[in-house]
Amino acid sequence: MTDWTAVATELAEEFAPRAAAVDREGRFPVENIERMQEAGYLSSVVPVELGGGGADLATFAACQQIIAGACASTALATNMHLFGIGAAAEGWHAGERAGEPILQAVAGGTVVGGSLTDAATGLNVRTSSTPARPVEGGYVVSGRKSFCSLAPALQFFWGTAADTETGALLLFGLPRETPGLSFVDTWDTMSMRGTGSWDVLFDDVFVPAQAVQRGTAPGEELVWDAERERPFAWFAVSVAAVYLGIARAATRLTYERARTRTVTGAALPTAHRPDQVYGAAEIELALRPAEAMLRDTIARRAAGEVLPPEDLQALKHVAVAAASSAVDRCVRMVGGHGIFRTLPLERHYRDVRAGQFHPPSPDTAAETIGKAVLGIDLGATPRWPAE
Ligand SMILES: Cc1cc2nc3c(=O)[nH]c(=O)nc-3n(C[C@H](O)[C@H](O)[C@H](O)COP(=O)(O)OP(=O)(O)OC[C@H]3O[C@@H](n4cnc5c(N)ncnc54)[C@H](O)[C@@H]3O)c2cc1C
């Protein structure tokens, strides 16, 4: 069995030296994706029986932490391929065979990316403002979606649209070369500049009925079971891993600098000053509980638990918030040199800020967690009743 963390370490060593240029130029690091393909990393989570690497969630999370520390954009972009494939692989082991064709395609080298985000409606993945008009044999989809990471490299796209007659939310998958489907480079951002998270255009795209993987009718009660939990769990765990990976890269740099920098007139390195000691402690007190929560989430799932939405959302929220505050504190410890582009710290500082925008956002996580502990049904309407 391949040692995937060793593969990730090797890839990270290759990616780190070019991460600054990728960020500076805001370019998609196609060479990193090609190297990951060559190394089998993009099919690491596919079952061995289907030609993949057999990596489980714990291994995947460890690998993504390593890659994120070198090039956060590469880790985050490939996360959008790997988390869904990993969830499908876990389902395959549980006897669900619907995902087998895509798992086989990925084992054969297909890169998958998708967008659930409508330009008009934002983050609410329970709905879509992209219209899908029912026609003979399927739907015709038109409109625009945004934030499609990996857009420059993907060969298979998945996304959501709403049935214009029933309002049902449809999840569908299409090959990149589908007529009318195109990708537009709109990605000029402060953070995660190398993720290639372009817009997706649908110009009367025909989606055959068999390409629609799932439909959810409006008002339909959603059952939270193992099958439904899987993609959310793989997403929450891997997003937590990516952002904690960025924070750990920042701490390595910061602690090393404190241990080795002696300012004029001082007898000992700055690590001996109270501001550095307390700063390092503050960072550890933020990161260690989040890292423990990540390990605990993985362990509970490995023991067979199906985690409730509030636990998964709490993990994502806690990890991203801890990573962000830890990197802030790193910049304060390093001081003014922390904002120079000669150090990767300012890139970590910008990249880590993107974490809050992945679902659930801080406000939606708070709603889920608060309602769960107060015994309020999350699906109840109206969402916020008057007194
Ligand atoms: C680097 C990066 C890569 C990404 N890659 C992908 C990808 O590959 N595929 C993909 O599908 N998506 C991707 N996303 C998109 C992400 O999942 C979000 O959909 C996207 O950031 C849009 O969110 P928004 O904040 O604009 O949403 P909006 O819904 O416009 O939210 C704006 C603000 O309002 C708040 N808000 C909105 N509704 C409510 C409510 N009802 N109650 C309380 N607060 C509310 C939100 O919490 C947020 O703070 C990516 C995002 C980033 C940053």
Phi/psi-derived region of residue 138, left when phi > 0, alpha when psi is between -120 and 50, beta in every other case: left
Q: Which atom of ligand 1 has the smallest separation from the CA of 383?
A: 41
Sign of the dihedral through C-alpha 305, 311, 312, 315: negative
Within a domain: 377: no
Q: Which atom of ligand 1 has the smallest separation from the CA of 80?
A: 8
Q: Is 197 in the pocket of ligand 1 (CB under 6 A)?
A: yes
**365: CA distance to ligand 1 center in Å?**
12
Q: Is 370 in the pocket of ligand 1 (CB under 6 A)?
A: no
Q: Which atom of ligand 1 has the smallest separation from the CA of 354?
A: 53
Q: Is 357 in the pocket of ligand 1 (CB under 6 A)?
A: yes
Q: Which atom of ligand 1 has the smallest separation from the CA of 360?
A: 47
Q: Are residues 101 and 121 in the same domain?
A: no
Q: Are residues 231 and 361 in the same domain?
A: yes
pLDDT at 123: 65
Q: Are residues 8 and 106 in the same domain?
A: yes
CA distance 361 to 317: 8
**123: CA distance to ligand 1 center in Å?**
4
CA distance 119 to 316: 23
Q: Are residues 298 and 168 in the same domain?
A: no
Helix H segments across the chain? 4-25, 30-38, 57-70, 72-93, 100-107, 226-260, 274-302, 309-334, 345-352, 362-373
Within a domain: 387: no
Would you place residue 127 in the very low, low, confident or very high pLDDT band (cuts 50, 70, 90)?
confident
Q: Indicate the DSSP class of residue 354.
A: G
Residue 21 pLDDT > 90: yes
Within a domain: 381: no
CATH of residue 233? 1.20.140.10
**199: CA distance to ligand 1 center in Å?**
14
The stretch 366-379 carries a mean pLDDT of 95
Within a domain: 119: yes
Question: Could you tell which of 361, 368, 381, 383 is best to mutate to test the pocket of ligand 1, judged by most ligand atoms within 8 Å of the CB?
Answer: 361
Q: Is 149 in the pocket of ligand 1 (CB under 6 A)?
A: yes
**358: CA distance to ligand 1 center in Å?**
6
Side chain identity, residue 26: G
Please list the helix, strand and coil fractions of the chain in percent, rounded to the nearest 5, in that order: 55, 15, 30
Would you place residue 91 in the very low, low, confident or very high pLDDT band (cuts 50, 70, 90)?
very high
In the structure encoding, which two tokens stand for residue 31, read together?
Answer: 């060479």
pLDDT at 387: 73
Pairing relationship of beta strands 212-216 and 169-175 according to DSSP bridges: antiparallel
Would you place residue 33 in the very low, low, confident or very high pLDDT band (cuts 50, 70, 90)?
very high
| Protein residue whose Cα sits closest to atom 4 of ligand 1 | 147
End-to-end CA distance of the chain: 59
Q: Is 115 in the pocket of ligand 1 (CB under 6 A)?
A: yes
Would you place residue 125 in the very low, low, confident or very high pLDDT band (cuts 50, 70, 90)?
low
Residue 2 pLDDT > 90: yes
| Protein residue whose Cα sits closest to atom 1 of ligand 1 | 192
Q: Are residues 209 and 117 in the same domain?
A: yes
The stretch 184-213 carries a mean pLDDT of 96
pLDDT at 140: 98
Instruction: Note the pLDDT tens digit of each residue in 217-264.
Output: 777 777 899 999 999 999 999 999 999 999 999 999 999 999 999 999
Q: What are phi and psi of 198, to 5 degrees?
A: -80, 170
Q: Are residues 159 and 202 in the same domain?
A: yes
CATH of residue 103? 1.10.540.10
| Protein residue whose Cα sits closest to atom 19 of ligand 1 | 123
CATH of residue 192? 2.40.110.10
Q: Is 280 in the pocket of ligand 1 (CB under 6 A)?
A: no
Angle at 103 between CA 355 and CA 144, to 5 degrees: 50
Most confident option among 5-9, 121-125, 375-379: 5-9
**359: CA distance to ligand 1 center in Å?**
6
Contact of 115 with 146, CB cutoff 8 Å = yes
Question: What is the C-alpha radius of gyration for the chain, rounded to an integer number of angstroms?
Answer: 22
- Average pLDDT of the chain is 95
Which residue range forms the structural domain that includes residue 352?
Answer: 226-372
State which of 57, 81, 110 marks the end of a domain: 110
Instruction: Note the pLDDT tens digit of each residue in 41-51.
Output: 999 999 999 99
| Protein residue whose Cα sits closest to atom 46 of ligand 1 | 361
Q: Are residues 146 and 233 in the same domain?
A: no
The stretch 1-29 carries a mean pLDDT of 97
pLDDT at 94: 97
pLDDT at 213: 81
Q: Is 116 in the pocket of ligand 1 (CB under 6 A)?
A: yes
Residue 128 pLDDT > 90: no
CA 134 to each of CA 26, 139, 197, 340: distance values in angstroms, whole numbers, following the listed order: 39, 4, 29, 54
Contacting residues for 61 by C-beta, under 8 A, at least 6 apart: 237, 238, 240, 241, 294, 298
Instruction: Note the pLDDT tens digit of each residue in 317-330.
Output: 999 999 999 999 99
As a dihedral over the C-alpha atoms of residue 170, residue 172, residue 176, residue 181, rounded to 10 degrees, the angle is -20
Q: Is 297 in the pocket of ligand 1 (CB under 6 A)?
A: no
Residue 169 pLDDT > 70: yes
The stretch 197-219 carries a mean pLDDT of 89
Q: Are residues 102 and 120 in the same domain?
A: no
Residue 126 pLDDT > 90: no
In the structure encoding, which two tokens stand for residue 202, read together?
Answer: 């649908």
Domain count, the chain: 3
pLDDT at 174: 97
Q: Are residues 314 and 340 in the same domain?
A: yes
